[in-house]
Amino acid sequence: MRRRILAAAAEEFAVRGFAAAKLTEIARRAGFTKGAVYSNFESKQDLFAELFAERSLELAGRVLAEIADLDIADAVGRGGETISTWLVGEPGWALLVLEFGVQAAREPAIAEAYLRERRSLRSQLEDLIAGRADAWGIADRVDAHVLAITIMALISGLMLEHAVDPEQVDQQAVQAAVAGVFAGAFARP
């Protein structure tokens, strides 16, 4: 049931955006009542926050799978490529994340769900970064916490820039920006 609701929510949010999405429509798409949605999620904000976290961790997992057996130099490029392919390939999702973030900055009810999921994502991203840095023998030089914040902020900014100017902030530019941050963070002194 929960999986069907999340899938229906992804469709509804993609079509209408966060603000205009309706729980009754999400329930209809999933084949349930609105009460069934509420029995699984406290609010539209909680539903979106879980969907956001799920998609973000999916991306982090994809990046990790792509770089798992690579050396640092190859991993930097492949990580940038994987992130840029996702960002450019899902422009609707990128806008939706930005919309949710802006609303979270303005509305305490949304901020609570957004903050909870962002902190959880950041923590898991830190663990992934620390694990890779340890495997590459550079754990003592990488601040996983700062790099996780930097990557999340960079991706948010690139989503906006790509949405507004996809001709200049194209996949190649996004890939170069992400790879540049990774390269700088993992550079040997």
What domains are defined for the chain? 1-41 (1.10.10.60), 45-186 (1.10.357.10)
What are the structure tokens assigned to 86, written together?
């996702």
Q: Over range 53-71, report the average pLDDT.
A: 83
Query: pTM above the 0.85 mark?
Result: no
In tens, the pLDDT along 119-148 reads 988 998 899 899 989 999 999 999 999 999
Q: How far is residue 54's CA from residue 101's CA, in Å, rounded to a whole number?
A: 16
CB atoms within 10 A of CB 91: 13
pLDDT > 70: percent of the chain: 99
Residues 6+ apart with CB under 8 A from 42: none
What are the structure tokens assigned to 57, written together?
């961790």
C-alpha radius of gyration, the chain, whole number: 18
Kindly report the CA angle at 90 between 56 and 14, in degrees rounded to 5?
Answer: 90
